[in-house]
Structure 1
Amino acid sequence: MHANSTFFSSKKTLLAIVGTTVLLTSGFSNAAKTEYPLTIKNCGRDITFNQAPTRVATVGQNSTEILYSLGLADRVVGTSLWFGPVLDAYKAANEKVAVIAQNIPSFEGIVAKKPDLVASQFEWQIGPAGTVASYEQFSELKVPVYTAPADCAKDNEDGGDGVRKGMFDIAMVYQEVADLAKIFDVQDKGEALIASLKARESAAKNKITGMDKNVSAVFWFSSADLQLDPYVAGKFGPAAWIAQTLGVKNVIDSAEEWPTVGWETIAKANPSVIVLGEMSRRRFPADDWKIKKEYLQSDPVTKLIPAVKENHLPAIDVQTMNAGIRTIDGVEKLADALVEYGLAHPQAAH
């Protein structure tokens, strides 16, 4: 979920990636150089670059952090749509970059930075029904917009968080890294980052063994009001992929990315785990995972859900539940929780 989602907490994610990327870079010294002009297919559009961009404006924290991970902080002239603190490894670099807006920027605010590329995480901001602008508005200024492939894999025509027709695939995130690396002619760094992400993905999948049968989960992002239906992860989004990767059933059957579903419906599904979205945003009381937990344990309907009765209520950073380079961290955190709750066994050390 991304609408008005500012400052979610994040401390440690991807520190391993940063180190691994450095170690692996030397292994990819033969990557092909980019030949300009370069045309890339992105979200059903052709975007062309006559040279590597030198002034990039970003809309979305994942887009920003991918560029930082590729060593391109000096090309970023303005950032926006921050969900939480930047990764520790990039704090110093990020302090030197202007912030267009902590949340959703204006079209004018982006244009004022005179970008030669806009890297965007969500079509909700820039796209067919973009709240900031359409692709055409930037095209008229001859400014290409690169949108995260994982987001335009959804139907975003109606705005909001979109609807998926099929399961999110982490390969879409790897494609985003590869595309941006090619645009900037830093393929070595792109291949190293992808290799480190894949290594973490493989390790995360192998963290557990002997999963109990019929383990199910629901991912609670927040609620506009505690008396209203909660925003939960749909059946095809990154959170559902996290569950599927570990052999856990997501009990929500909606194809919407973040639908609202009643607690009575959720209770009937008897989830064995309820993941509480952790964030530092305080737009709604339910943004606080502790308030989520208190509600679940006191409400007459929810307190009877198996996950609540057994206190299987892990708090996991909501940034892992959006498509991006942090998603694999969600697999790791949920795997650890399943082991802690006795719902799965850790893989034996060799």
Structure 2
Amino acid sequence: MTPPARRSAALLAVLALALTATGCGARVASDGKPGARSGGPGPYPVTVENCGTRTTYDKAPERVVTNDVGITEIMFALGLEKHMAGYVMPDDKGDLGAVPWKAAYGKVPWLSKKAITKEMALDARADLVFAGWNYGFGEDNGITPASLKKVGIGSYVLTESCHNSTDGSGGSARGVMPPLEALYTDLTALGKIFHVEGRAAALIKTYKKQIADAAAKAPAPAGRPSVFLYDDGRDKPLTSGKFAGPHDIITKAGGDHVMKDLKDSWTTVGWETVVARNPDVIVINNYGDTSAARKKAFLTSYAPLRNVSAVKNDRIYVMDYAELVESPRNPAAVTDLARYLRGVHTG
């Protein structure tokens, strides 16, 4: 989105400040080594690598703006709501009143239910935007780490969304590591940036145990049901490749992810591929304008799918969007899906 020509007094003040200081005290390390500045408080400066870029922080960011539910809840899970200026996300991401972070949602301003823009970040006096490629960042909408840097705002990119060419200039495919490893990577890096390493380590330990407990009860490899993730789409289905959250959720829960060979995160395939791979279970991603009930009605009435095992045997399972994108809800999602898959008998 092209910024409007009009600039408010507040905007001019922020831009003036950007000329004298880098957002959130962050610097891109030019020599590939941790930067240093004498006199920094506590553990600072610290350097982290994010999507192939090393950035040095001279202090913890104080006015973070997050985009989307999973990213926002990563901050909440780390107890960082006091470091946030607000969050941006649509209101189609489920019931936020039943989550462990209900209190944090009540404290942090909901800045917009529309797509994040550079102007929103400037109006919020953000010193860091935590978003991801196709989770807010995009060359087509004019908000990227590079464009934010020009106005003095730092960026942290969701690891699940890193481009396969990590400098961000290559193809559109996303994902550089297994999805749960991406979650742990972000928790570790953010723990370092905000000096809450202990909280991050404790969360990771808890999540790994939760997932291991669920995986221990998974069906034997020979009896694992095959699973297809259906996000949306009629002409072509949007689904998950090996680098999006559903891959690890399905696999750790005891399923065989039928699209595990796709080296991307969220991407489209042809219905003929779904039919050929004949999944035993279809998981519906519940969000957006099209309800899960309408998505299921489409799947069960779409003629090419009539002989697919999941449709014939009515094995269609609904999960919420926030469980399936990189988020602190992923471990519980593994447990819930594992419980369902244990009741699925194949062959």
Q: Normalising by structure 1, report the TM-score.
A: 0.77
Please point out which of 122, 128, 145 is paired with 1:135.
Answer: 145
- Tell me the secondary structure at the aligned position of residue 192 of structure 1: helix
Establish whether residue 147 from structure 1 lines up as the match of residue 150 from structure 2. Answer: no
Residue 264 of structure 1 corresponds to 272
Please point out which of 37, 52, 69 is paired with 1:44.
Answer: 52
Please point out which of 325, 330, 337 is paired with 2:340.
Answer: 337
Paired with 1:165 and 1:71, the residues of 2 have a C-alpha distance of: 26
Paired with 2:264 and 2:182, the residues of 1 have a C-alpha distance of: 18
Alignment-mate amino acid for residue 106 of structure 1: T
C-alpha change, 1:103 and 1:158, in structure 2 (3 Å) is farther
Residue 106 of structure 1 corresponds to 117
Paired with 2:59 and 2:219, the residues of 1 have a C-alpha distance of: 48
Residue 241 of structure 1 corresponds to 248
Give runs of aligned pairs for residues 226-237 of structure 1, distance below 5 A: 226=234, 228-237=235-244
Paired with 1:297 and 1:126, the residues of 2 have a C-alpha distance of: 35
Paired with 1:170 and 1:214, the residues of 2 have a C-alpha distance of: 20
Q: Give the CA deviation at 1:220.
A: 0.4
Paired with 2:247 and 2:293, the residues of 1 have a C-alpha distance of: 23
C-alpha change, 1:188 and 1:234, in structure 2 (3 Å) is closer
Q: Give the CA deviation at 1:177.
A: 0.9
Please point out which of 196, 200, 207 is paired with 2:206.
Answer: 196
Establish whether residue 118 from structure 1 lines up as the match of residue 129 from structure 2. Answer: yes
C-alpha change, 1:130 and 1:96, in structure 2 (3 Å) is farther
Listed one character per residue, the Cα deviations across residues 208-235 of structure 1 (whole Å, up to 9, x for unaligned) are: 2335536312110011xx4x22212224
Q: Choose 256-265 or 191-200, whichever is displaced more.
A: 256-265
Paired with 1:118 and 1:296, the residues of 2 have a C-alpha distance of: 38
- Tell me the secondary structure at the aligned position of residue 75 of structure 2: helix
Paired with 1:235 and 1:270, the residues of 2 have a C-alpha distance of: 18
C-alpha change, 1:122 and 1:327, in structure 2 (3 Å) is farther
Does the 8 Å contact 2:279/2:309 carry over to 1? Answer: yes
Residue 218 of structure 1 corresponds to 228
Identity %: 27
- Tell me the secondary structure at the aligned position of residue 222 of structure 1: coil
- Tell me the secondary structure at the aligned position of residue 43 of structure 2: coil
- Tell me the secondary structure at the aligned position of residue 39 of structure 1: strand
Q: Give the CA deviation at 1:291.
A: 1.9
Establish whether residue 254 from structure 1 lines up as the match of residue 223 from structure 2. Answer: no
Establish whether residue 75 from structure 1 lines up as the match of residue 73 from structure 2. Answer: no
Q: Give the CA deviation at 1:300.
A: 2.5
Paired with 1:165 and 1:183, the residues of 2 have a C-alpha distance of: 22
C-alpha change, 1:309 and 1:322, in structure 2 (3 Å) is same
Q: Give the CA deviation at 1:98.
A: 1.6
Alignment-mate amino acid for residue 230 of structure 1: P
Moved over 4 A (4+): 155-159, 164-167
Q: Unmatched 5+ residue regions in structure 2?
A: 1-40
Does the 8 Å contact 1:123/1:147 carry over to 2? Answer: no
- Tell me the secondary structure at the aligned position of residue 341 of structure 1: coil
Please point out which of 270, 289, 292 is paired with 2:292.
Answer: 289
Q: Give the CA deviation at 1:245.
A: 2.7
Does the 8 Å contact 1:151/1:323 carry over to 2? Answer: no
Q: Choose 308-317 or 201-210, whichever is displaced more.
A: 201-210
Aligned length: 301
Paired with 2:319 and 2:193, the residues of 1 have a C-alpha distance of: 33
Please point out which of 304, 308, 317 is paired with 2:307.
Answer: 304
Q: Larger RCO: Structure 1 or Structure 2 (Cα < 8 Å, ≥ 6 residues apart)? A: 1
Larger radius of gyration: 2
Q: Choose 54-63 or 303-312, whichever is displaced more.
A: 54-63
Does the 8 Å contact 1:38/1:48 carry over to 2? Answer: yes
Alignment-mate amino acid for residue 183 of structure 1: I
Q: Give the CA deviation at 1:124.
A: 5.1
